[in-house]
Structure 1
């Protein structure tokens, strides 16, 4: 379900816990019921499992600590699974604790760095006023003023004075492009009031492949946003402190590490952190532009002759096109507000449109002002100093105002990278939801952040940053292609959207705005692809093409797995052909068992072993039913266990279980913090503490793809569970493989 069709005010891209349990259609429910009717013929031990179960499966629940208010939302530590007692005090968080509930050193370090976990019911993103939303969501776009004009001038200066004469006309053209794209995104906000990112709009209106192309462009954009913002921020620091220039790469990697840690902690939810540096940057640049233009006015706007290196190129169409494409990178981040409409206070879409209008106005004023100021003051790129730094030094001198400008620029650039940390993991989640990316990107961590997406973005951005030695000018050619590919496809999708809605009011006006934005964005895309191809744009184009191919292959693999696991009528025929063989292991099960050989267990003869089999099930598909069948064939007391992140999913799983026939005792453990392994470990550890004389066999279904590289697309919970339970005696982990082509 796309965000445009979501109801309510939920934030797009934020999954409801029950989404992780795939729904069963009517045909699968009928097959499940039919298989359940045949179960007693397969496993005639039902009275034994119910009446002779050696433990009470209801061991209590996770202790509910008092929920308090903290700087990052509502915090609630997890307690160990045990019967609640009135005298219990607030329990210590044991999400990563050992089997006995005692916190491990790794757990303590994790909690120190990341903080306590957040419940799934925690409000993950509070509504924002427009004055708060502007610095939060516009930091990326507004901060691009620090490197966009410089990228434009860096190309024009190659042609000397004749090239710099084109600075103002090109800047005016880019300002018009900003206005056109901004107006077209206003229409997108109105049409997609629950958030309309380029991937969603293109997929909804143009199809799967255009949606993947837009997603590929967005992901390239997000990676480069982090790399470029950090490189530009470090450049601002080294312009003021030249002694730090040899340490550009280490400083950049440290900034990536801080962003990674901050986002894993959930700092992205504390939007007020953006307000101060963004407004400080706005004040600094506006003061710089006004002061510089005032000085130019005293000279009757006669430009100061710049000190130029020897011209290496002549003024031609190709040079102008390259400068236009480079300067257009100042438009990055314009789409951020349309992605986050639900973050605003009601009326959400109206407040989002107003904030977008403010952002476009400020962006045009700052961009045009910086280019004009540089033109009249004779500032050109070079000398190991940024254009903004050179202008501030000339205008304000080397005193407090210069230091303030550089500090504000560095701060807003480093924080602007956080826009990518908000949006990139959400796009990966949407891709994973549609089977175009590994499903691990759907999972939320302790702090309600998409930890896997955040980590992947940090690692990729760090590699790109190191590969280009932190040079902003070297990274810019890669930037424009991904940005404007997403812009173009999003606006083309909106054209198709309005074309189909012929009865919509103001349809023709909206279509005209979006068509204009589409054409202009497409022109920039083609220009950037042609003029920047040999400078690095080919890398971005190749990366997008590889992404589309990989995403399609991933979807094909998941489609194959889903078809193999689907409950279908042939499964009933397959069962009938093999009835009845009691205590027989299914041919394809081939279970692999591991168990510790601990001293003192004194179970050298079969008569001394007392069994309990626990089948851990996430879903009721063919692999889950095969694991149940294998466990039942052992003829030992049997218990099914399901870890659920919420009551809705738990109720849905119980309904499926009842439809199957409730042939095995089922216990559902609620995990309000979305963890899977830790609750399962706590449950098994508690069973072991209750009955240390039992040998507990934990049976897990395992999907085994034919190709080894496909294993990256599936979880490895069995290995993690084995490592976690290894310290406990008399615990056996059994995997029942289900092979898929």
Structure 2
């Protein structure tokens, strides 16, 4: 197994090699921006899907709505730059909200993001699989297994380490950026040269019957789904090469510029081309076909789009483990999330993310498009809380230039809050689960924290009860026969210098009981034997009752009861399947008995 594990994830790395596992700006931009950049493939389409409910003539509203999304993007980028420098150890919205608004707002932000990263993986991989099965319809019935395989591959890549996964995944991300920039450039060139007639779209400002502020807000909220993943860089600052905050801030700015260019380009081309959202073809696919025809460039755009949709999941793998580390350090989730694996990544977080994403894909049969609103609102709740937290920070601390910073965060908070409320008002049927699972997650965090605090109080020497002095020891040895493993266990017990050793044998019929007692007197007359007839063929129940009886008597004299369990270990692991594992079941049961010491004496078989 060790050799197989090394083959899959590579040789273990020393802790001193941690610095070599950090990312430069180019690699970080690729793996931490893939979620945000991939949303260009569906963000503009979400706007058109709302506007088409009025008429195709209403598509000109996509331009001012797109400008509104860009304003929100600018506010978020500027705000998260400030968060990066204010909280250089990562944690993003969780740390900002917890430090400035209180523990519970912090837990709401942290819980939202944890769930959102799981949705990121499930939605992204399912969307990418859709693109592949659309190109090859014969694969459609295998959609779920294909999606699961992609999740397993991305999980494996991340287990191999941050730098290795970044080296492989960077190429498809940059190919996607290049393909879309070429598409936008070629499309704009066709428009400027007069290849596209103005009749394809309604002029900006055309009066549209049936349009309402409510509908425009709904379209704006839908288009804002293109901003999911913007916060990932602020969560993953420790993954950057030194100086980490400066490199993270530059990467965030570069991501904002690329996202703004790609999003605005697709929105403008969709409007000018008069593209309508179709079930059988995405908006990007229609733009590419209109611009290039169904040639090599069209398939290049489609191929890189499918790749980026799948690889957008990698943003979740980069940010989820680091957010989990911050929550685990504060004792709100299990401490296992703080442990680094063989390749210095937080492998427990990576594995749990992969497992939960697979469960989600299987549960929804790969049809996770209905999760996009849930996925988006899961980001805008932390957006709103982090912006509000930074507002409180500037008002409380008043550093140099705090007024400008406060204005930026206030704008971001107001717009994010508006988008969040719009999601709840216009898409309640799709986002209502947030109102149930968020309180449950916060309650779970609270219960885990209480458990860790209770354990700490009970283990702390200053607060725990003084230990009762032990005056002696009573050793109980369950025996199944007269064998080498029993002999070795009895020899061990006698070597401790304990006078009271009791061998316990549990026969199922009376004849067997008498024969064994006779053999025992001949073999070990110096060791007391107790036989407990079990008419219902149970070993654990009579043994447990006997131990409890001995324990009550031992407590009167401050004696300790120790159960020494003989166990033979087969030479080959699969041989365990051929034995009934009585010793394991006894040990498991006795672990729940208070103040009983359990010792296992292994006897290793040679054949």
The two structures have a TM-score, normalised by structure 1, of 0.63
- The answer on 1:348 being equivalent to 2:244 is yes
Match of 1:396 among 277, 289, 292: 292
What is the CA distance between 1:438 and its match in structure 2?
2.2
Q: Is the contact made by 1:492 and 1:514 (CA closer than 8 Å) also made in structure 2?
A: yes
Match of 1:543 among 437, 441, 446: 437
- The answer on 1:493 being equivalent to 2:389 is yes
Could you list the per-position Cα deviations for residues 643-685 of structure 1 after superposition, in whole angstroms to 9, with x for gaps in the alignment? Answer: xxxxxxxxxxxxxxxxxxxxxxxxxxxxxxxxxxxxxx9xxxx
Q: How many matched pairs? A: 517
- The 5 A counterparts of 1:597-612 are 599-601=483-485, 603=487, 606=490, 611=495
Match of 1:583 among 465, 472, 475: 472
- Greater percentage in helix: 2
Aligned position for 1:552: 446
Match of 2:120 among 205, 225, 228: 225
Aligned position for 2:219: 323
What is the CA distance between 1:592 and its match in structure 2?
9.6
- The answer on 1:139 being equivalent to 2:15 is no
SS at match of 1:603: helix
Q: Is the contact made by 2:39 and 2:227 (CA closer than 8 Å) also made in structure 1?
A: yes
- The 5 A counterparts of 1:218-297 are 218-266=113-161, 269-297=164-192
What is the CA distance between 1:570 and its match in structure 2?
5.9
Closer/same/farther in 2, CA of residues 526 and 703 from structure 1, 3 Å limit: farther
Of the structure 1 ranges 114-123 and 179-188, higher mean CA displacement relative to structure 2 is found in 114-123
- The answer on 1:372 being equivalent to 2:268 is yes
Could you list the per-position Cα deviations for residues 447-498 of structure 1 after superposition, in whole angstroms to 9, with x for gaps in the alignment? Answer: 3233332222122222322333433531211112110011111111111121
- The answer on 1:115 being equivalent to 2:10 is yes
- The 5 A counterparts of 1:438-449 are 438-449=334-345
- The answer on 1:361 being equivalent to 2:237 is no
Closer/same/farther in 2, CA of residues 392 and 244 from structure 1, 3 Å limit: farther
Long gaps (5+) in structure 1: 1-105, 308-312, 586-590, 614-629, 637-680, 682-698, 707-717, 731-741
Could you list the per-position Cα deviations for residues 409-466 of structure 1 after superposition, in whole angstroms to 9, with x for gaps in the alignment? Answer: 1222222211101111222222222221123323333332333322221222223223
Aligned position for 2:308: 412
Closer/same/farther in 2, CA of residues 189 and 703 from structure 1, 3 Å limit: farther
Closer/same/farther in 2, CA of residues 544 and 727 from structure 1, 3 Å limit: farther
Partners of 2:151 and 2:414 lie apart in 1 by: 36
Closer/same/farther in 2, CA of residues 557 and 343 from structure 1, 3 Å limit: closer
Partners of 1:605 and 1:267 lie apart in 2 by: 49
Q: Is the contact made by 2:184 and 2:265 (CA closer than 8 Å) also made in structure 1?
A: yes
- The 5 A counterparts of 1:11-410 are 106-123=1-18, 126-266=21-161, 269-299=164-194, 302-303=197-198, 305=200, 314-410=210-306
Q: Is the contact made by 2:457 and 2:464 (CA closer than 8 Å) also made in structure 1?
A: no
Q: Is the contact made by 2:341 and 2:347 (CA closer than 8 Å) also made in structure 1?
A: yes
Partners of 1:542 and 1:369 lie apart in 2 by: 38
Q: Is the contact made by 1:236 and 1:386 (CA closer than 8 Å) also made in structure 2?
A: no
What is the CA distance between 1:597 and its match in structure 2?
7.2
Partners of 1:389 and 1:352 lie apart in 2 by: 33
- The 5 A counterparts of 1:546-695 are 546-568=440-462, 571-572=465-466, 575=467, 578-579=468-469, 581-584=470-473, 599-601=483-485, 603=487, 606=490, 611=495
Closer/same/farther in 2, CA of residues 408 and 608 from structure 1, 3 Å limit: closer
Partners of 2:58 and 2:244 lie apart in 1 by: 45
Q: Is the contact made by 2:334 and 2:448 (CA closer than 8 Å) also made in structure 1?
A: yes
Partners of 2:479 and 2:410 lie apart in 1 by: 65
Closer/same/farther in 2, CA of residues 475 and 332 from structure 1, 3 Å limit: same
Q: Is the contact made by 2:162 and 2:345 (CA closer than 8 Å) also made in structure 1?
A: no
Q: Is the contact made by 2:155 and 2:354 (CA closer than 8 Å) also made in structure 1?
A: yes
Q: Is the contact made by 1:432 and 1:439 (CA closer than 8 Å) also made in structure 2?
A: yes
Aligned position for 1:523: 418
Aligned position for 1:94: none
Could you list the per-position Cα deviations for residues 574-622 of structure 1 after superposition, in whole angstroms to 9, with x for gaps in the alignment? Answer: x4xx55x52157xxxxx99889979434728956756479xxxxxxxxx
Closer/same/farther in 2, CA of residues 114 and 176 from structure 1, 3 Å limit: same
Aligned position for 2:604: 728
Partners of 1:516 and 1:610 lie apart in 2 by: 77
Closer/same/farther in 2, CA of residues 593 and 389 from structure 1, 3 Å limit: farther
SS at match of 2:332: coil
Closer/same/farther in 2, CA of residues 593 and 237 from structure 1, 3 Å limit: farther
User: What's the C-alpha RMSD, in Å, of the aligned pairs?
Assistant: 3.6
- The 5 A counterparts of 1:703-722 are none
Closer/same/farther in 2, CA of residues 241 and 390 from structure 1, 3 Å limit: farther
Partners of 1:340 and 1:605 lie apart in 2 by: 53
Closer/same/farther in 2, CA of residues 567 and 292 from structure 1, 3 Å limit: same
SS at match of 1:116: coil
* Rg larger for: 2
Closer/same/farther in 2, CA of residues 505 and 107 from structure 1, 3 Å limit: same
Closer/same/farther in 2, CA of residues 299 and 219 from structure 1, 3 Å limit: same
What is the CA distance between 1:320 and its match in structure 2?
2.2
Partners of 1:169 and 1:340 lie apart in 2 by: 33
What is the CA distance between 1:242 and its match in structure 2?
3.5
Long gaps (5+) in structure 2: 203-208, 498-554, 563-568, 570-586
What is the CA distance between 1:511 and its match in structure 2?
1.7
Q: Is the contact made by 1:157 and 1:164 (CA closer than 8 Å) also made in structure 2?
A: yes
SS at match of 1:446: coil
Partners of 1:239 and 1:198 lie apart in 2 by: 37
Could you list the per-position Cα deviations for residues 374-396 of structure 1 after superposition, in whole angstroms to 9, with x for gaps in the alignment? Answer: 11112222142222122212211
What is the CA distance between 1:175 and its match in structure 2?
1.0
